[in-house]
Structure 1
């Protein structure tokens, strides 16, 4: 080997001849620099995302604090309330067919509701919707090969007024009144409607439906417990009187609306509410 580490071309090791010797190639720094640049870009992106999300979290936190402070100081705020329970029509004559002997006494359904309320001290008022469906279907008249079934759906749109008579830092008890409209939908379907022979979609409903519209008014009592700063759970008991047309609608197939005239409705359920600052 010559002084200085240089070889004749014929005697140089393969890696030196290929330009891979210690003195033939400079140190590789491009890969390290690119990694540092990528890491810096990722860090900058994460920092930008954190900074952009921080105002949203701060606004949400401020809104939550304002709602909690409004409740403590009897200042106005709004609340969204969702409920679920059981609805019963104990004295209703349910007659979905023309034959009088086919009438049944009473009806029980599962119910869901959502209301938006404005609160100011002891007073609350607002509006909401209430939906219920019969727990089971019953057989309808017709050829046995058709396998006709009948089901009912209930829909209410009502205004709500409440007076919170008993209030503590964690619990509230109220009485209220409701007034609005009610729609009772009777639907008849056959096996071909429920399980179509093909996936072809047709315009219009798959079942024959009769809608009965009326007016509803009632009373309610309930209470709730605040388990978090702006969250509460509770229960309610509601009574409503439905005023439906005296003459029941009749479909071309001889089916008729299940309910008519005055109907008493009872509803018991649980609710969860969230307070929102104004």
Structure 2
């Protein structure tokens, strides 16, 4: 990870800038991992297993602009079991979270990039992750620096991204001007056509023809196989998020679910 821009021309950077950047980067990655592997949170603590799986360690600095080498935690079989992943899965929790952050970085670059695509990436991460990404981008913007990243995943693939100051500013604006409404609860009936216990996701085709893609409550995730391809009634929490420019997205989370009998409507 290299910080770039005029303030780093002499291969130095203020400690206050570097310290805040590393802290905000770690918090952003952990919050994104929680959104991807659990359920996006507003204020509750990020579970210890998520934090342990995404903990970054700085091992060295090097002249580039101002560069820091970082590594994730050692990988063992227990971590794969912990997150309910398929045996032999190549990407770790940390890889998935970093890739999601780099998706946001890449989409923010270029004059023709659409904010619609960015909001589609940001919205499902929830208010906690957006708060940390906002702090990360604010720190870079205020210091007038960008970032260049080379990420080597556990399975050997290499990904490179360059985050320029205009791209950083775009993400900051979207995060700071996003508004999450207070969640409401609704009941929907329909067919549960897709269920993933690995990521806690379901897809319900409602009786009125709409399709709802939702996260599932932690206690429910392990029982999704009971409802797959069944007609169900689900209690769903709905949160509306409005981004800069007025683009709106609804986020769904299934809290409870039950199978419907043939004679129920």
TM-score by length of 2: 0.21
TM-score by length of 1: 0.20
Normalized per residue, the structure richer in helix is 2
Normalized per residue, the structure richer in strand is 1
